[in-house]
Chains A and B, each alone.
Chain A
Amino acid sequence: MNYDQSPVDELYGAMRSALRAEPPMTALPHDDLLRGQSRLRRRRLGTAASVAAVVPVVALIVTVVPSGPAAGPDGPGFANSPTADRQTFDVECGGVLAGELRPQARGSDAPRELIGSDRVKLKRLRPGESGAPRELAGGGGPLQALKRDGSPRSGILGTVEDAGEGESHCEAVPGAPMDMPELDRLEHALFDTLDPSKEHLTSFLAGAGASAPAEAGSDPEQSKVTSASVTGDWSEGDRAGNVSLSVEDPTAGESGMSDPGAAPCEDPGLFSGPQLSCERRELADGTVVLVGTGSKNGFARITVHYVRPDGQLVWATSDQASGIWWEDSSGAGPLDGPPVTVDQLIDLAQDPRVHL
């Protein structure tokens, strides 16, 4: 090739030739449209969530629980095996990065604790492939964890940072297997209170937010858990709704509202999604809870907000449609109404196991 004579034409021609090995394009414009719509929704959610995200840099921990409860020694059906290997799961933060975290090299029997950063790679997302976006309280904006069937619980740490254009993203980095008692307690409370016969709750997703270690490079396990959330699809036949439970320590996130009974219904940040009504309900023992009813994308949502005596904030939510339905309408159709009642949500929110 002689670039001295006509570099532009020579280079252009060489590039054209190099592109003749182009594989066929399988993605459709509609796929990009769905991804764009999804991103726009997350962007709007993130904008709303960022109001409460007062900690500029936090560590986020994502845990993935296998689909379908299976009886085990740890409680009502969780295959909680942090030592299991060969897990693969994806994580996306802020709608920017989709990372695939792999175990040690294929065929390796080495422990899974440390995973080389070169094994974190970008992954293409396709409609229907992803799970629902989950907003985790405690800062950092929306965080999406994608479940792979059969994956044991493990964790990813992500650092939220400014990625330009007003967005934030997480860079997935390897994390050691975790055993989080906070999430165990929430999961057990959710099952025992709402679905003791274990007929409906499937496809669990659990996550926690943690304050960052004081110094860069510190051991992430020194982080303090400041929020935790578990959510699950509620299946009835071929239809599905969603239930979720979140706890937040307001003293870590400076989100206020630490005075039991003082949380006003008028607070626009109190409930997630449009609210049609908010009711202060005083229980027999004098405890005050807030009950929000509303809709999201046209489907009903009930949320109970409870402030524990120790100041930790609890939200228990019942959605008529599942998270995947919100995301791209490719999941199971919605239920006829929210899967559990207000009274069940109140019982759940006040369960003594529901705390950090």
Chain B
Amino acid sequence: MGYSNSRDADFTAYVAARRGHLRRTAFLLCGDWHQAEDLVQTALAKLYVAWPRVRRDGSPEAYVRKILVRAHVDETRRPWRRERSSPQLPESAATAGLPVEERDALLTALAALPAGQRGVVVLRHWVGLSVAETAADLGCSIGTVKSQTARAVARLREALTDVAPTTGGRA
């Protein structure tokens, strides 16, 4: 197998295994499935370019996660993104799990967070990274991660106080 074929096969295998997770992470970051797909496509295209180095370092997941988070933060800094804040949820469907109101409230509350805080919340509480790993992904200090997490959780708590409590533990 030639170099290119090996690279392509490795990359395809990685994408097949991890694409769904990456898309869900992207959705939690941006709150929109279409934009999440865009972010994932961009991140994976960049990953392919850097694949030899990333594979050598053994951390494709960390690499693509960094791209996702930073690309999302960049997006929110673009003028047309800043103007697009909306009280309406982008997408929701009545499915099992949390009541629709509570699920929507969570997404709304997440969407109301600044991009950096949302990134911290998603990386810490969804991806399950440590403070140090989160700081590395976001390119900031550990202290910043801690303070951002505290602020984000406080804002989530405040936004969700009127929502009826339900169960929702880690499955």
One digit per residue, 1 when the CB lies within 8 angstroms of any chain B CB and 0 when it does not, for chain A 32-69 equals: 11011111100100000000000000000000000000
**Could you say which residues of chain B place their CB within 8 Å of the CB of A165?**
46
Using an 8 Å CB-CB cutoff, how does the interface string of B138-171 with A read, 1 for contact, 0 for none?
Answer: 0000000000000001001100100101111111
In the complex, B56 has a CB within 8 A of chain A = no
A124-B34 contact, Cβ under 8 Å, with A20-B97, A21-B93:
yes
Given the known A-B contacts A7-B125, A29-B12, are A123 and B38 also in contact in the complex, defined by CB atoms under 8 Å?
yes
B75 contacts which chain A residues (CB < 8 A)? Answer: 122
Do residues B45 and A11 form an inter-chain contact, with CB atoms below 8 A?
A: no
Partner of B48, one of A2, A11, A20, A32: A32
Q: How large is the interface on A (under 10, 10 to 19, 20 to 34, 35 or more residues)?
A: 35 or more
Q: Please pick, from A17, A25, A33, the residue contacting B103 in the complex, using a CB distance under 8 A.
A: A17
Majority-rule SS of A interface residues? helix
Choose, from A113-121, A272-280, A345-353, the stretch at the interface: A113-121
Residue contact B19 to A29, C-beta cutoff 8 Å: yes
B38-65 interface with A by 8 A CB criterion = 38, 41-42, 44-49, 51
Q: Tell me whether A171 is interfacial, beta carbon within 8 Å.
A: yes
Inter-subunit contact A27/B106 (CB<8 Å): no
A36 touching B171 in the complex, CB below 8 Å, given contacts A15-B125, A22-B27, A25-B20: no
Main secondary structure of the interface of B (DSSP, over half): helix
User: What band does the interface of chain B fall in when counting residues whose beta carbon is under 8 Å from A?
Assistant: 35 or more
Query: A37 CA to B78 CA in the complex, in Å?
Result: 27
Name A3's contact: one of B23, B78, B93, B153 (CB within 8 Å): B153
Q: Assess whether B102 is interfacial by the CB under 8 Å rule.
A: yes
CB within 8 A of B153: which of A7, A12, A43, A122? A7
- A180 beta carbon closer than 8 Å to chain B: no
Residue of A nearest to B78 (CB): A171
- The answer to whether B19 touches A3 (Cβ under 8 A) is no
Interface string of A6-20 (1 = CB under 8 A from B): 011111111111111
> Which of B15, B44, B51, B106 is in CB contact (< 8 Å) with A18?
B106
CB pair A17 B19 closer than 8 Å: no
B19 touches A11 (CB 8 A): no
Q: B48–A36 contact, CB under 8 A?
A: yes
Q: Is A181 part of the contact surface with B, judged by Cβ < 8 Å?
A: no
Tell me whether A262 is interfacial, beta carbon within 8 Å.
no
A21 & B126 in contact (Cβ 8 Å cutoff): no
- Bound together, the chains give a CA A228 to CA B46 distance in angstroms of 30
Whether B165 contacts A117 by the Cβ 8 Å rule is no
Which residues on the A side are within 8 Å of B1 (C-beta)?
none
CA of A20 to CA of B100, assembled, Å: 11
For the complex, what is the distance from the CA of A271 to the CA of B12, rounded to whole Å? 34
Q: Are A9 and B170 in contact (CB under 8 A)?
A: yes
Q: How far is the CB of B171 from chain A (nearest CB, A)?
A: 6
Shortest distance from the beta carbon of B50 to any chain A beta carbon, whole Å: 9
Q: Does A23 contact B (CB under 8 A)?
A: yes
Residues 51 to 91 of chain A near chain B (Cβ within 8 Å): none
A30 at the interface (CB under 8 A from B): yes
A1 x B168 contact (CB < 8 A): yes
8 A-B pairs with the lowest CB-CB distances in the bound complex, closest first: A36-B48, A13-B168, A17-B97, A17-B98, A29-B15, A21-B93, A11-B125, A117-B80
21 A–B pairs (Cβ distance < 8 Å), ordered by A: A1-B165, A3-B157, A11-B125, A12-B125, A12-B170, A16-B170, A17-B106, A20-B96, A21-B91, A21-B103, A27-B41, A32-B41, A33-B15, A35-B48, A37-B8, A39-B45, A39-B48, A96-B42, A117-B83, A120-B80, A122-B75
**Supplied contacts A32-B48, A33-B12, 7 more A-B pairs, CB within 8 Å:** A1-B163, A12-B170, A15-B28, A22-B23, A22-B33, A23-B33, A36-B44
Interface residues, chain B, with chain A CB atoms under 8 Å away: 8, 11-13, 15-16, 19-20, 23-24, 27-28, 33-35, 37-38, 41-42, 44-49, 51, 75, 78-80, 83-84, 91-93, 95-98, 102-103, 106-107, 121-122, 124-126, 128, 153, 156-157, 160, 163, 165-171
Query: Which positions in A face B, CB cutoff 8 Å?
Result: 1-4, 7-23, 25, 27, 29-30, 32-33, 35-40, 43, 95-96, 117-125, 165, 171
